[in-house]
């Protein structure tokens, strides 16, 4: 049983006759059957469907009419709609609900002959940083099964890291692609807000959510983004800006890089992570890049601002899950109000209830100006400061996470401690900028951790180019 770690190797093996889409899917299905019972990354596996599709794509390859993702096996987070399959956002309130349509990103993957092998576990309604808040139970980190894989796209990061699929799609509201990518040692990209259509994504916070890929390398990340990005008539917030050629990159330019001192001097930042980032900064300087340390006085308000605004949006977005329209409904309700109250009480998990209540509170009369309006003002200040920095610099560099993956159950008792997991990643969601986590390091505790780069809006090509250069330099010396 052979698993290829890049699409380049995959298609090379298929074209040379050493393998086929059918054989590759068989191998992935075998790995899923062996590993998933413990890791719990997949909540549905499309065995027969993916094998049938593999046969069809093998034929298309023979006839020379296959798409640019022919033979790429992809897993999809369980909050992204796949036609004629259950989509639950890992919540009891949507248990048994079957989607009538494909999300735009799924439609575009299928059009280019990707093979969707199943749907992936996540925190309920994408609310969490550990993938423990799920009706299906917690996801385990394949590199150490006593530890979390990060969240909310923990099923996506685990599936890629465990070689149960080549690439996965996740959604990123405050770091939900990049933080699990860091914990599992894979590449995770959050595109510019509006670069990728959100049609078919079950919304958590609509002005923050963005779909993006998790992969083993930058090249596959770029290729998938090239396919899924672009304007969509079904999503009025999607950008009409032309999609760049993300896979054609220049890795030799000298760059100007800003390093936020406040991130590196944060109390609680693992000293080994700090030392690794410091070493990378010195290496960048030696290679001719211009690196400058800057103060960013808003780091301590990013997480509170993020949670006020996202919970406010969540309280509105999740109002549709009421036991009347679709999904779970409480048994034997006395009246309509009883239906609403009991359905939501029985079917929403604790974290989802907490965020709905917080969001309702910050939008309530007497508190809206103090919390919601103030947070919107802070969001604008953070956006302006970020734009100011990126006028003079190509990238903002920081750790992705303050530490490596923690033990399952360790942080469940204190929500505020869990919320601080997002301290480095929420920045890009507040401002709408693209950001990537690169699996550049390994801790002495044996667990990986990532380096994060944030860049100008719609500069994914430059971001991916520089990421590719960093990864090549990193692997070249066997670091």
Tell me the catalytic residues.
77, 152, 176
Indicate the pairing of strand 187-190 with strand 167-172. unpaired
Instruction: Please name which of 207, 210, 205, 203 lies closest in space to residue 189, comparing C-alpha atoms.
Output: 210
Q: How far apart are CA 141 and CA 143, in angstroms?
A: 5
H-type helices in 410-449, by residue range?
A: 415-419, 426-431
Beta strands in 24-124 (DSSP E): 42-45, 73-77, 115-120
The b-or-e profile of 343-374 (16+ CB within 10 A means b, else e) is bbeebbbebbeebbebbbbbbeeeeeeebbee
DSSP, res 124: G
H-type helices in 297-373, by residue range?
A: 299-317, 336-347, 350-362
Structure tokens at 59: 């034929």
Decide: 147 and 139 in contact? Cβ < 8 Å: no
Q: How far apart are CA 108 and CA 114, in angstroms?
A: 9
DSSP H or E segment with residue 441: strand 435-442
The dihedral built from the CA positions of residue 74, 76, 81 and 85, taken in this order, carries a sign that is positive
CA distances, 306 to each of 138, 365, 467 (Å): 24, 20, 26
Q: How far apart are CA 304 and CA 306, in angstroms?
A: 5
Q: Say whether the peptide bond before residue 423 is cis (omega within 30 degrees of 0).
A: no
Decide: 191 and 142 in contact? Cβ < 8 Å: no
Decide: 214 and 149 in contact? Cβ < 8 Å: no
DSSP β-bridge partners for residue 451: 399, 438
Q: How far apart are CA 180 and CA 439, in angstroms?
A: 11
Burial class (CB in 10 A: 0-12, 13-18, 19+), 420: middle
Q: What is the residue whose two structure tokens read 């998990």? A: 349
């Amino acid at each position: 049983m052979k698993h290829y770690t890049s699409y380049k190797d995959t298609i090379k093996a298929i074209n040379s006759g050493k393998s086929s889409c059918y054989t590759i899917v068989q191998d992935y299905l075998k790995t899923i059957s062996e590993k998933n019972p413990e890791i719990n990354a997949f909540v549905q596996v499309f065995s027969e469907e993916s094998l049938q599709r593999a046969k069809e794509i093998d034929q298309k390859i023979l006839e020379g009419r296959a798409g640019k993702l022919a033979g790429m096996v992809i897993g999809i987070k369980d909050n992204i709609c796949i036609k004629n399959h259950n989509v639950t956002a890992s919540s009891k309130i949507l248990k048994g609900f079957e989607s009538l349509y494909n999300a735009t990103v799924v439609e575009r993957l299928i059009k280019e002959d990707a093979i969707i092998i199943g749907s992936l576990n996540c925190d309920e309604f994408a609310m969490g940083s550990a993938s423990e808040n799920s009706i299906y139970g917690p996801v385990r980190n394949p590199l150490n099964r006593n530890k979390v894989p990060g969240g909310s796209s923990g099923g996506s990061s685990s599936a890629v890291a465990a070689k149960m699929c080549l690439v996965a799609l996740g959604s990123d509201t405050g770091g939900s692609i990049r933080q699990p990518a860091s914990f599992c040692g894979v590449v995770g990209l959050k595109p510019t807000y509006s670069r990728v259509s959100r049609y078919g994504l079950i919304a958590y916070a609509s002005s923050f959510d963005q779909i993006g890929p998790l992969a083993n390398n930058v090249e596959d990340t770029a290729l998938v983004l090239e396919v899924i990005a672009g304007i969509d008539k079904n999503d009025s917030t999607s950008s009409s800006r032309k999609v760049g050629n993300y896979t054609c990159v220049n890795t030799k330019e000298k760059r100007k890089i800003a390093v936020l001192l406040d991130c590196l001097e944060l109390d609680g930042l693992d000293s080994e992570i700090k030392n690794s980032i410091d070493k990378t900064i010195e290496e960048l300087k030696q290679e001719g890049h211009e690196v400058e340390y800057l103060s960013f006085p808003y780091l301590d308000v990013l997480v509170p601002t993020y949670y006020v605004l996202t919970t406010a949006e969540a309280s509105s977005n999740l109002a549709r899950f009421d036991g009347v329209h679709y999904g779970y409904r409480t048994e034997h309700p006395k009246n309509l109000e009883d239906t609403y109250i009991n359905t939501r009480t029985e079917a929403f998990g604790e974290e989802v209830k907490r965020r709905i209540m917080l969001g309702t509170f910050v939008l309530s009369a007497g508190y809206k100006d103090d919390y919601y309006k103030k947070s919107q003002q802070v969001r604008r200040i953070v956006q302006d400061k970020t734009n100011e920095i990126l006028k003079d610099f190509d990238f903002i560099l920081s750790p992705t996470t303050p530490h490596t993956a923690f033990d399952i159950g360790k942080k469940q008792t204190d929500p505020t401690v869990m919320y601080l997991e997002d301290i480095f990643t929420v920045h890009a969601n507040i401002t709408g900028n693209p950001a990537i986590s690169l699996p550049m390091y390994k801790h002495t505790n044996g667990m990986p951790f990532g380096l994060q780069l944030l860049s100008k809006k719609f500069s994914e090509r430059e971001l991916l180019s520089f990421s590719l250069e960093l990864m090549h330099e990193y692997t070249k010396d066997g670091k």
